Chain A
Amino acid sequence: MSSTRALMQVLRARLGAADPLPPPAPAPEIPPPPHYVFPSPQMMGRYAEKASAHTTALVGIGHVGTRYATDVVLQFQAELAVAHQAVATVLPEDWAASQGLIGLQSRVTSHRQFLLRPDLGRRLSDESVKALRDKAQKGVDVQPILADGLSAVACMGSGMDLLRHFTAACEARGWKVGTPMCARYARVWLEDEIGQEVGARVAAILLGERPGLGTGDGLSAYIVHEPRIGKTDSDRNMMSNIHARGTPPAQAAQKLAMLVGAMLDQRTSGVGLDLSSLAAELGDAAARAPRAPQQRVRLVEVKR
């Protein structure tokens, strides 16, 4: 016998048996684990119920071992899927035309490039500059721009609704409103070049906001006075969370028109704009800090 084989034999003898594991014990029927669920109005624990008056954070959700219950996992995955789907959706090239809007595009040519090159999303393609010169009305008070931003889902969802309400609110105040248009692969700062090109006193871009967990349908609006290439974030005022569960489009449009009015009166925007007299009507829109709390809704329902 070789020395290796002899050594192996000694080790096996020391471990006790040829099969290193004993046979498994017979398994009794396993009762279903305690019912842990994602908190919903129909069913939630005491702690989750108390917390829900103050926060949308997922607390009081229990645990299995150190991990989540299956129901929590599914709910979480659904929320994640909604966010990822919103980011992945591309605004169809002909969507603007189908809504009767001038179709514009930034210098971005693909969805991946849109995510990786914010600088290109802030400038118009040469064809779009030409389209703007040919088709858009010049010398307007307000130029609204609908855009995809980081959620084409939101743009196609309540985008037209917000655009119509905002346009109506501006016209009701007697302002000259620019030709309706929609920009593809657009970042916020694209409003500077568009506004400059049409000679608008104020530009307002209404675009899909970066999705959060479970929310891919929110729009944000960024407004700037005297739009020019080279304006920065501190020159803008913004309002976020425009969707049915946040601020509905009709209501948001009134607040946005109020912001535009303040800009036209004070001839400035951003950090220099004094909104103290409008604070009560504007609510969240008066603060420059974004995001009111999101309301959480149960996404996954399984019939038993």
Chain B
Amino acid sequence: MQLSATIRGTTWRFESVKEVLAKANPPKSGDDLAGVSARDAVERVAARAALSQLTMSELRENPVVPYEADELTRLVDDTLDDQAFRAIKNLSVGQMREWLLDTKTTGPVIRSISAGLTPEMAAGVCKLMSNLDLMVVGAKCQVVVRANNTLGLPGRMSSRLQPNHPTDDVQGILFSMREGLCYGCGDAVIGVNPATDTAESTAEILKALDEVTTRNRIPTQNCVLSHVTVQMKALDLGAPMGLMFQSMSGSETGNRAFGISVKLMDEAWDKMKRLGTTRGPNVMYFETGQGSALSSAAHHGADQVTLEARCYGFARRYKPFLVNTVVGFIGPEYLENGPQITRAALEDHFMGKLLGLPMGCDACFTYHASMSQDELECLKVLLGAAGCTYLMSLPVGDDIMLNYQSTSFHDIPSVRMLIGKRPAPEFDAWLSETGIMDGDVPGERFGDPEVIR
């Protein structure tokens, strides 16, 4: 295994696959904070050159956290699809990039090898790709999932409606929810981040959301994003839960900081399949984001892109209906500015799709990151063009509980019309029935929240 490359007569040598993966990353403040990034632009390219020569087999044999030390590494390796792995194991990372970009490599072809890829392989290819490379391949990947309605079909882009409220005032939540629905938002999920993390409160909010979706016969699914153990208790209380949610990290220690493990998630999934209210078969919802492992000192000296891919290696076990990266939420110490947040969004979407997940993205910034509203609006269009399964949606993009800036109710129909996409088909039909949309243009009741009873 060759871990060196020569540029203009200078040879760069690297100690480990983990170091090569980290130094091949484009600049990210979080990798600087972890002390794992390349010293300069030339070393970065040298690392990419070394990476391009490594084979898929070598990446499988050198996970960034050792098999003995981490249950996620064991989970990925023990459950990897042998046949799919054999098909690609001799390709180098550079060849893998070229094969993915080849127009003959269509979505169904990519799907046939997806289960043979480890997160380190997806992250490795990602580091050799430009933003447009990531978009071209991301848009080819096919991931179609079904809960009450169907997400990820060609020509479709969905949205999560996020009617958060700082004190869980149920009436306040419903005012935001109705406003969002009349702009055509909410086909992925109506999902509330609760201020109070109790089973009773989770059940109360779910019940209120369910009453509105039932009364108005809205084809979607509801979710309250409390901790998974709290949601399990809410299921016991008989809460009408459409999707079960949990945040994930890319290492066993990172997940411990989130209060979860493979065993706990297995139990939660099993319970949700029995007691959830959606038809499925996809009933789980996960959120991730670069930097989450480092923020709990659980990064094992690995870079944040590779650790992010490892979240997807965990998530795919549960055949989720939704996965999204909350890309700019974590703050400038991990993603400093517009270019870094944009790059991370496209990376995460690509890696997730490549690993077979229905990837969405919370394109967002906190007010202390160096990203402008214009840059954020551009990112939403890039994600739409890259085939992102869904974006978030909030009143004017302002989360009054979590204090950050995301996608707005108005952005969703704007991006859909720009790139010629429609909501999930079941929801699309409902929008036409209510008069909110008239085919692919706004209908008579567009923007009128009184249309929702």
Contact = CB atoms under 8 A, between A and B. Distances in A.
Interface of A: 47, 50-51, 53-63, 65-68, 72, 76-77, 79-80, 83-84, 86-87, 115-119, 150, 210-213, 289, 291-294
B396 interface: yes
Interface of B: 29, 32-33, 163, 165-167, 169, 171-173, 175-176, 179, 183, 195-196, 332-333, 336, 366-368, 373, 394-396, 398, 400-401, 403, 405, 410, 413-414, 417, 442, 446-447, 449-450
B49 to A, nearest CB: 28
Contacts of B398: 57-58, 76, 79, 213
A91 to B, nearest CB: 15
Q: Sorted from nearest, which 5 A-B pairs have the closest CB atoms? A: A55-B172, A54-B172, A212-B403, A51-B175, A59-B179
A266 to B, nearest CB: 24
Contact of B442 (A47, A66, A80, A83): A66
B392 to A, nearest CB: 14
A210 B417 contact: no
B176 A57 contact: yes
A116 B29 contact: yes
The listed residue with most A CB atoms (<10 A of its CB), out of B167, B195, B398, is B398
A62 B172 contact: no
Nearest to B450: A47
Contacts of B446: 63
Contacts of B414: 66-67
Contact of B449 (A59, A210, A293): A59
Contact of B395 (A57, A63, A294): A57
A54 B396 contact: no
Contacts of A77: 373
Given A116-B32, A116-B33, A289 B195 contact: yes
Given A66-B413, A66-B442, A116-B32, A210 B366 contact: yes
A291 B333 contact: no
A115 B195 CA distance: 26
Contacts of A56: 400
A293 B400 contact: yes
10 contacts: A47-B175, A50-B175, A56-B400, A63-B447, A65-B442, A66-B410, A72-B396, A83-B367, A84-B367, A87-B368
Contact of B175 (A59, A61, A65, A84): A59
The listed residue with most A CB atoms (<10 A of its CB), out of B165, B183, B336, B410, is B410
A contact face: mostly helix, strand, loop, or mixed: loop
B368 A150 contact: yes
A290 to B, nearest CB: 9
A25 to B, nearest CB: 22
Contacts of A72: 396
Contacts of B417: 66
The listed residue with most A CB atoms (<10 A of its CB), out of B171, B333, B368, B449, is B368
Contacts of A76: 396, 398
B332 A115 contact: yes
A150 B171 CA distance: 32
A87 B367 contact: yes
Given A55-B175, A57-B176, A57-B395, 10 more contacts: A60-B449, A63-B447, A68-B410, A115-B336, A116-B33, A116-B333, A210-B366, A210-B367, A211-B368, A213-B398
Given A47-B449, A76-B396, A291 B175 contact: no
Contacts of A294: 166, 400
B403 A210 contact: yes
Contacts of A59: 175-176, 179, 395, 449
Nearest to B415: A66
Contacts of B179: 47, 51, 57, 59-60
B172 A51 contact: yes
A292 to B, nearest CB: 7
A292 B403 CA distance: 12
Nearest to B197: A289
B395 A58 contact: yes
Contact of B368 (A51, A55, A115, A293): A115
A212 to B, nearest CB: 4
Contacts of B29: 116
B367 A58 contact: no
A56 B336 CA distance: 29
A54 B403 contact: no
The listed residue with most B CB atoms (<10 A of its CB), out of A58, A79, A80, A84, is A58
Contacts of A53: 171
A68 B400 contact: no
Nearest to A218: B403
Contacts of B171: 53-55
Nearest to B30: A116
A54 B333 contact: no
Nearest to A53: B171
The listed residue with most B CB atoms (<10 A of its CB), out of A116, A119, A211, is A116
Contacts of B373: 77, 80
Contacts of A86: 367
A57 B172 CA distance: 8
A202 B31 CA distance: 35
A116 B195 CA distance: 28
A86 B367 CA distance: 9
B368 A210 contact: yes
A185 B410 CA distance: 38
B396 A61 contact: yes
Nearest to B177: A59
Nearest to A82: B367
Nearest to A47: B449
A291 B449 CA distance: 28
A292 B195 CA distance: 10
